[in-house]
Structure 1
Amino acid sequence: MPHARAADGAALHYEVHGAGRPLVLLSGQANDLHWWDAVRDDFAAEFATVVLDYRGTGGSDRPDTDTYSTPGFARDVLAVLDHAGIERAHVYGTSMGGRVAQWIAADHPERVDRLVLGCTSPGAPHGVERGPDIRRALAQPDAAAARRVLLELMYTPDWLAVHQGPFHTLGDPTMPGHARGRHLRASARHDAWDALPRIVAPTLVVHGTDDTFNPAANAPLIAGRVPGARLHLVPGARHAYFEEFAKVATPPVLEFLTG
Structure 2
Amino acid sequence: MTQVTVGDININYEIKGNGAPLLMIMGLSFSLRDWGKKFTELLAQHYQLILFDNRDAGLTSESTRPYTIADMADDAAGLLDALKIPKAHVFGVSMGGAIAQQFALKYPDKLDKLILGCTMVGGTCSQPGDISGAIDGNLSGLLFTPTFIQNHQQELAEFFAATTPFHSQGEALRRQMQAFGTHDTCDILSDIQANTLIITGDKDIAIPRSNSDLLAAKIPNSKLEIIADAAHGFSYSHADTTADLIRLFLQQQPNSEKKIMKNQLDAIYQTFREYAEAFNLLDPTQVEPFFQVPSMLMTSDLVVVMKESKEVTGVFAVLMDKLRKDNFKESKILSLQVSQLSDNQGLVVGVAKRFNQADEEIEHFGFTYTLRKVEGDWKIIAGVLHEPETLSNS
Secondary structure in structure 1 of the residue aligned to 2:207: coil
**Equivalent in 146, 159, 168 of residue 167 of structure 1:** 159
Q: Distance in 2 between matches of 1:183 and 1:119?
A: 17
Q: Distance in 2 between matches of 1:60 and 1:236?
A: 33
Runs of 4+ in structure 1 deviating by more than 4 angstroms, as ranges, are: 168-174
Distance 1:111 1:151, change over 3 A: same
Q: Distance in 2 between matches of 1:53 and 1:117?
A: 18
Question: How much identity, in percent, do the aligned residues show?
Answer: 29
**Equivalent in 197, 215, 220 of residue 190 of structure 2:** 197
**Equivalent in 223, 243, 248 of residue 230 of structure 1:** 223
Query: Which of 1 and 2 has higher RCO (CA within 8 Å, sep 6+)?
Result: 1
1:102, CA displacement in angstroms? 0.2
Answer whether contact 2:92 2:116 (CA < 8 A) is retained.
yes
CA deviations over 1:63-113 (Å, ceiling 9, x no partner): 2311x3211110000111011110000001111110000011111111111
Q: Distance in 2 between matches of 1:173 and 1:252?
A: 28
CA deviations over 1:138-190 (Å, ceiling 9, x no partner): 48xxx8xx333x31231112221232223359865453411011111111111
1:5, CA displacement in angstroms? 2.1
Secondary structure in structure 1 of the residue aligned to 2:116: strand
Q: Distance in 1 between matches of 2:86 and 2:187?
A: 26
1:249, CA displacement in angstroms? 2.3
CA deviations over 1:117-155 (Å, ceiling 9, x no partner): 00000003211111xxx36x548xxx8xx333x312311
Q: Which residue of 1 aligns with 2:348?
A: none
Q: Distance in 2 between matches of 1:78 and 1:110?
A: 11
**Equivalent in 243, 246, 252 of residue 239 of structure 2:** 246
Alignment of 1:7-26 (within 5 A): 7=7, 9-26=8-25
Instruction: Write the letter of the residue equivalent to 1:167.
Output: F
Q: Distance in 1 between matches of 2:199 and 2:168?
A: 28
Q: Which residue of 2 aligns with 1:6?
A: 6
Answer whether contact 1:31 1:172 (CA < 8 A) is retained.
no
Task: Please say if 1:60 is aligned against 2:60.
Answer: yes
Q: Which residue of 2 aligns with 1:31?
A: 30
Alignment of 1:37-186 (within 5 A): 37-38=36-37, 39-66=39-66, 68-130=67-129, 134=130, 138=133, 146-148=136-138, 150-163=139-152, 164=154, 165=156, 166-167=158-159, 173=166, 175-186=168-179
CA deviations over 1:193-218 (Å, ceiling 9, x no partner): 12311111100111101111101100
Q: Distance in 2 between matches of 1:14 and 1:170?
A: 15
Answer whether contact 2:133 2:141 (CA < 8 A) is retained.
no
Instruction: Write the letter of the residue equivalent to 1:97.
Output: G
1:235, CA displacement in angstroms? 1.2
Q: Distance in 2 between matches of 1:225 and 1:81?
A: 27
Higher Rg: 2
Taking structure 1 as the reference length, what is the TM-score of the superposition?
0.89
Q: Distance in 1 between matches of 2:85 and 2:231?
A: 33
Gap regions ≥5 residues in structure 1: none
Gap regions ≥5 residues in structure 2: 253-394
Instruction: Write the letter of the residue equivalent to 1:58.
Output: G
Answer whether contact 2:68 2:183 (CA < 8 A) is retained.
yes
Distance 1:152 1:48, change over 3 A: same
Instruction: Write the letter of the residue equivalent to 1:246.
Output: A
Q: Distance in 1 between matches of 2:46 and 2:128?
A: 35
Taking structure 2 as the reference length, what is the TM-score of the superposition?
0.60
* Bigger proportion of residues as strand: 2
1:37, CA displacement in angstroms? 2.4
Answer whether contact 1:29 1:171 (CA < 8 A) is retained.
no
Secondary structure in structure 2 of the residue aligned to 1:233: strand
Secondary structure in structure 2 of the residue aligned to 1:78: helix
